[in-house]
Amino acid sequence: MLVVHNISLPPGQFGGPEIEDFFCNRLDHSAHPYFQTIEGIQVSAHLLIRRDGVLVQFVSLLERAWHAGRSCFEGREECNDFSIGIELEGTDDIPYTPEQYFKLAEVADLIMAAWPEITVGRITGHCDIAPGRKSDPGPAFDWSYFRAALQAARGSGRNV
Which amino acids are annotated catalytic? 87
CA 20 to chain centre: 13
**Residue 143 three-state SS:** helix
> Which residues, at least 6 apart from 61, have a Cβ–Cβ distance to it below 8 Å?
46, 84, 111, 114
Q: Which of 110, 108, 100, 107 is nearest to 141 (CA)?
A: 100
Are 19 and 67 spatial neighbours (Cβ–Cβ below 8 Å)?
no
d(CA 5, CA 12) in angstroms, rounded, equals 14
d(CA 140, CA 92) in angstroms, rounded, equals 6
